Amino acid sequence: MQINEILTLERTLFGVPGGSKKRVLEYFSKFIAQQIPALDSEEVFSRLIAREKLGSTGIGEGVALPHCRISHCKEAIGTFIRLRDKIDFDAIDGQPVDLIFLLLVPEDANEAHLQTLANLAETFAQDDLRKALRKSDQPETLYELLTAGVSS
């Protein structure tokens, strides 16, 4: 599944205050429940926190890919957040995070979920893309960069 199939411009956010991993996940949970009323913000938050307890989703280079399976989720849902300030995310390289792509998938999603995560990790491994995302302060540009899959 490609980013343009799971991300919308409305779910591409810039300048979100960080504070802490918990605060960002809580912010996202409330935000996504407003966007998609079938989702319960408390369930989203608790499942994201439970997933983080298994091991950090901070993949390095200032990027995190928090994700979980969720009930009442009919299809994969992505949200990109570029934080105003970097936060500690217990990333594998110990570096703080400012680029976060959150992924929710249906409870029965298995192979598609793993493939989407692999695609996201590959996308965010591009140094030029990360640099371009950090330079932009327009949600439209961030969205274009992510859905094109290439940096500019």
State the pLDDT at residue 152: 34
Contacts of 51 (CB under 8 A, 6+ apart): 57, 66, 67, 68
Residue type (1 letter), 18: G
In this structure, what DSSP letter does residue 142 have?
H
**Across the chain, what does the average pLDDT equal?**
93
- Sequence spans of domains, the chain: 3-148
pLDDT tens digits along 125-139:
999 999 999 999 899
pLDDT in the model for residue 104: 96
Q: What 3-state class would DSSP assign to 84?
A: strand
Domain 3-148 sits in CATH 3.40.930.10: yes
Cβ pair 56, 67 in contact under 8 A: no
The whole-number pLDDT of residue 112 equals 77
| pTM for the model | 0.94
Cβ partners under 8 Å of residue 19, min gap 6: 87
Q: Which of 11, 21, 47, 67 is catalytic?
A: 67
| Cα–Cα dist 45/62, whole Å | 22
Q: Check if 67 is active-site.
A: yes
